[in-house]
Structure 1
Amino acid sequence: MPANRLPADEYQLKAALIVQLKRLTAEREITQTEAAKLVGVKQPNLSKLLRGQFKLVSVEKLLRMLTSFDQDVETKVKPHRKRGEGGRITFIRA
């Protein structure tokens, strides 16, 4: 895999988390500037994230952004069904 590409599961997880950020911003009817202040980033950086430019932001940072919107984030680790196949990372919205 080229160095500038994310693994598919990480890419999908980040995309799902960003969709939640968009949804929460819309539900609260706040501007990107207000949302950026809430999550602790500059508005241009939030704008880039919301437009899909998220390679340089960590999953942890995205999770912290969601907690700024008064969201609880849970992490669940469980054995994969078949040994030797490796696990997977998924996002499940409550």
Structure 2
Amino acid sequence: MSTDNNEVHAGNPNIFAELELPDAESHFLKAQIVAELYRLTQEAKLTQARTGARMGISQPEVSRLFKGHFREYSVERLIGFLTAFDQDVEIVATSRAKDGGPGQITFRPVSG
């Protein structure tokens, strides 16, 4: 049996930033919103066709969305999908400590 000396380090919770992909913050936010949409769909026991009807898109679009193909959707449109599931979306701006870094966008779903 061989022993590899693999290094382990704590990664960025945003896998897109960890992979140094362009628009990582936006993509991570979209992924979080889509994950919540998927959770809401499963909770309501909706088919993809019924989900699409609720959100105003086709069943194949829902399938692509839930498979991670959501780059073409704006954050605004995904937020609109949340409101189609009777979710209120609240945007709050707060002051950030002046550490020289940019502000952050955080998504925290509140499960009912």
Same fold (TM over 0.5): yes
CA RMSD of aligned residues (A): 1.2
* Deviation readout 1:37-72 (Å, 9 max, x if unpaired): 001011111111110001100000000001000001
In 1, Cα distance between equivalents of 2:23 and 2:95: 21
Per the normalisation by structure 2, the TM-score is: 0.75
Label 1:40 to 1:6 Cα distance change in 2 as closer, same or farther (>3 A). farther
Paired residues in the alignment total 90
Q: Which has a greater percent of helix?
A: 1
Alignment of 1:7-86 (within 5 A): 7-86=23-102
Q: Which has the higher contact order (CA 8 A, sep 6+)?
A: 1
Q: Deviating runs (4+, > 4 A) in structure 1?
A: none
Percent identity, aligned pairs only, is 40
Specify every segment of 5 or more residues in structure 2 that has no aligned partner in the other structure, as ranges: 1-20
Per the normalisation by structure 1, the TM-score is: 0.89
Specify every segment of 5 or more residues in structure 1 that has no aligned partner in the other structure, as ranges: none
